[in-house]
Amino acid sequence: MISIGSFSLGALFGILVTAIVNHFLAKSRDRENSQSQARQLAGTRLQEAFADALNAFDPHIADKEDAYTVLHKSFKEHSKAIRLFRPHLSEKEKQEFDKAWMEYYCYEGENIPYLEQYSSHVGSHGLYLESCELGRKRVERILSFAET
Protein backbone atom coordinates (compact mmCIF):
# COMPACT_ATOMS: atom_id res chain seq x y z
CA MET A 1 0.00 0.00 0.00
CA ILE A 2 1.30 3.42 -0.98
CA SER A 3 1.02 6.15 1.61
CA ILE A 4 1.56 9.84 1.42
CA GLY A 5 2.26 11.21 4.82
CA SER A 6 -0.37 9.72 7.08
CA PHE A 7 -2.87 9.11 4.20
CA SER A 8 -2.91 5.95 2.17
CA LEU A 9 -3.66 6.11 -1.55
CA GLY A 10 -6.93 4.22 -0.90
CA ALA A 11 -8.09 6.80 1.67
CA LEU A 12 -7.22 9.64 -0.70
CA PHE A 13 -9.15 7.92 -3.49
CA GLY A 14 -12.12 7.44 -1.14
CA ILE A 15 -12.13 11.13 -0.21
CA LEU A 16 -12.00 12.11 -3.89
CA VAL A 17 -14.89 9.79 -4.86
CA THR A 18 -16.98 11.06 -1.93
CA ALA A 19 -16.37 14.68 -2.97
CA ILE A 20 -17.38 13.95 -6.58
CA VAL A 21 -20.56 12.10 -5.56
CA ASN A 22 -21.52 14.90 -3.16
CA HIS A 23 -20.98 17.45 -5.91
CA PHE A 24 -23.31 15.63 -8.32
CA LEU A 25 -25.95 15.09 -5.62
CA ALA A 26 -25.87 18.78 -4.73
CA LYS A 27 -26.26 19.76 -8.40
CA SER A 28 -29.19 17.36 -8.72
CA ARG A 29 -30.87 18.83 -5.61
CA ASP A 30 -30.34 22.36 -6.90
CA ARG A 31 -31.89 21.45 -10.25
CA GLU A 32 -34.89 19.82 -8.53
CA ASN A 33 -35.33 22.85 -6.25
CA SER A 34 -35.14 25.20 -9.23
CA GLN A 35 -37.73 23.18 -11.16
CA SER A 36 -39.98 23.05 -8.10
CA GLN A 37 -39.72 26.81 -7.59
CA ALA A 38 -40.48 27.44 -11.27
CA ARG A 39 -43.57 25.21 -11.06
CA GLN A 40 -44.74 26.96 -7.89
CA LEU A 41 -44.33 30.37 -9.54
CA ALA A 42 -46.21 29.25 -12.66
CA GLY A 43 -48.89 27.74 -10.40
CA THR A 44 -49.27 31.01 -8.53
CA ARG A 45 -49.63 32.88 -11.81
CA LEU A 46 -52.24 30.35 -12.97
CA GLN A 47 -54.23 30.90 -9.77
CA GLU A 48 -53.98 34.67 -10.12
CA ALA A 49 -55.10 34.54 -13.76
CA PHE A 50 -58.22 32.56 -12.85
CA ALA A 51 -59.22 34.57 -9.77
CA ASP A 52 -61.62 36.59 -11.91
CA ALA A 53 -63.21 33.40 -13.21
CA LEU A 54 -63.92 32.15 -9.70
CA ASN A 55 -65.54 35.50 -8.91
CA ALA A 56 -67.55 35.37 -12.13
CA PHE A 57 -68.99 32.01 -11.08
CA ASP A 58 -69.98 33.20 -7.62
CA PRO A 59 -73.72 33.93 -7.84
CA HIS A 60 -73.60 35.80 -4.50
CA ILE A 61 -71.40 38.66 -5.67
CA ALA A 62 -73.64 41.65 -6.27
CA ASP A 63 -73.31 44.00 -9.26
CA LYS A 64 -71.17 41.64 -11.26
CA GLU A 65 -71.00 41.22 -14.98
CA ASP A 66 -72.37 38.19 -16.72
CA ALA A 67 -69.90 35.28 -16.28
CA TYR A 68 -69.47 34.94 -20.06
CA THR A 69 -68.48 38.62 -20.38
CA VAL A 70 -65.86 38.34 -17.63
CA LEU A 71 -64.44 35.11 -19.04
CA HIS A 72 -64.44 36.34 -22.61
CA LYS A 73 -62.41 39.43 -21.55
CA SER A 74 -59.97 37.23 -19.61
CA PHE A 75 -59.59 34.44 -22.16
CA LYS A 76 -56.20 35.59 -23.47
CA GLU A 77 -54.84 35.89 -19.93
CA HIS A 78 -56.20 32.44 -19.05
CA SER A 79 -54.76 30.95 -22.22
CA LYS A 80 -51.34 32.49 -21.52
CA ALA A 81 -51.33 31.20 -17.92
CA ILE A 82 -52.26 27.72 -19.19
CA ARG A 83 -49.45 27.83 -21.77
CA LEU A 84 -46.88 28.93 -19.16
CA PHE A 85 -47.92 26.36 -16.57
CA ARG A 86 -48.25 23.33 -18.86
CA PRO A 87 -44.49 22.67 -19.37
CA HIS A 88 -44.12 22.04 -15.62
CA LEU A 89 -46.35 18.96 -15.76
CA SER A 90 -45.52 15.32 -16.41
CA GLU A 91 -46.85 13.77 -19.63
CA LYS A 92 -49.74 12.14 -17.77
CA GLU A 93 -50.58 15.39 -15.99
CA LYS A 94 -50.47 17.25 -19.33
CA GLN A 95 -53.15 14.96 -20.75
CA GLU A 96 -55.42 15.49 -17.74
CA PHE A 97 -54.67 19.23 -17.69
CA ASP A 98 -55.47 19.59 -21.40
CA LYS A 99 -58.75 17.77 -20.86
CA ALA A 100 -59.66 20.06 -17.94
CA TRP A 101 -58.82 23.14 -20.04
CA MET A 102 -60.90 21.91 -23.00
CA GLU A 103 -63.86 21.14 -20.73
CA TYR A 104 -63.58 24.65 -19.30
CA TYR A 105 -63.70 26.61 -22.53
CA CYS A 106 -65.42 24.20 -24.96
CA TYR A 107 -68.80 22.67 -24.32
CA GLU A 108 -68.15 18.97 -24.86
CA GLY A 109 -70.57 17.10 -27.11
CA GLU A 110 -72.56 20.19 -28.10
CA ASN A 111 -72.23 22.68 -30.91
CA ILE A 112 -71.72 25.63 -28.56
CA PRO A 113 -68.81 28.06 -29.15
CA TYR A 114 -66.17 28.44 -26.47
CA LEU A 115 -67.33 29.92 -23.16
CA GLU A 116 -70.93 30.37 -24.42
CA GLN A 117 -72.01 27.70 -21.95
CA TYR A 118 -71.54 30.23 -19.16
CA SER A 119 -73.72 32.99 -20.58
CA SER A 120 -76.69 34.00 -18.44
CA HIS A 121 -79.94 32.26 -19.11
CA VAL A 122 -82.56 35.00 -19.26
CA GLY A 123 -85.56 34.12 -17.11
CA SER A 124 -84.01 30.97 -15.67
CA HIS A 125 -82.20 31.63 -12.42
CA GLY A 126 -81.91 27.86 -11.82
CA LEU A 127 -80.04 27.30 -15.09
CA TYR A 128 -77.85 30.31 -14.32
CA LEU A 129 -76.89 28.87 -10.91
CA GLU A 130 -76.26 25.48 -12.50
CA SER A 131 -74.01 27.13 -15.09
CA CYS A 132 -72.10 28.97 -12.34
CA GLU A 133 -71.60 25.76 -10.36
CA LEU A 134 -70.35 23.92 -13.45
CA GLY A 135 -67.94 26.73 -14.28
CA ARG A 136 -66.62 26.95 -10.72
CA LYS A 137 -65.94 23.20 -10.67
CA ARG A 138 -64.13 23.39 -13.99
CA VAL A 139 -61.92 26.28 -12.86
CA GLU A 140 -61.14 24.48 -9.60
CA ARG A 141 -60.19 21.40 -11.61
CA ILE A 142 -57.69 23.44 -13.62
CA LEU A 143 -56.30 25.07 -10.48
CA SER A 144 -55.94 21.72 -8.73
CA PHE A 145 -52.88 21.07 -10.91
CA ALA A 146 -51.17 24.09 -9.36
CA GLU A 147 -51.59 22.62 -5.86
CA THR A 148 -49.52 19.48 -6.44
Could you read off the pLDDT of 64-76 as tens digits, one per residue? 566 777 788 888 9
pLDDT averaged over the chain? 77
Band of residue 30 on the pLDDT scale cut at 50, 70, 90: low
**Maximum pairwise Cα distance, the chain:** 94
Tell me how far apart the alpha carbons of residues 132 and 109 are, in angstroms, rounded to a whole number: 19
8 Å CB contact between 129 and 59: yes
pTM of the model as a whole: 0.67
Distance (Å, rounded) from C-alpha 63 to C-alpha 24? 57
pLDDT over 90 (residue 106): no
Number of domains in the chain: 1
Task: Return the number of other C-beta atoms located less than 10 Å from residue 97's C-beta.
Answer: 21
- What is the amino acid identity at position 113? P
Q: Which domain does 85 fall in, by range? A: 3-147
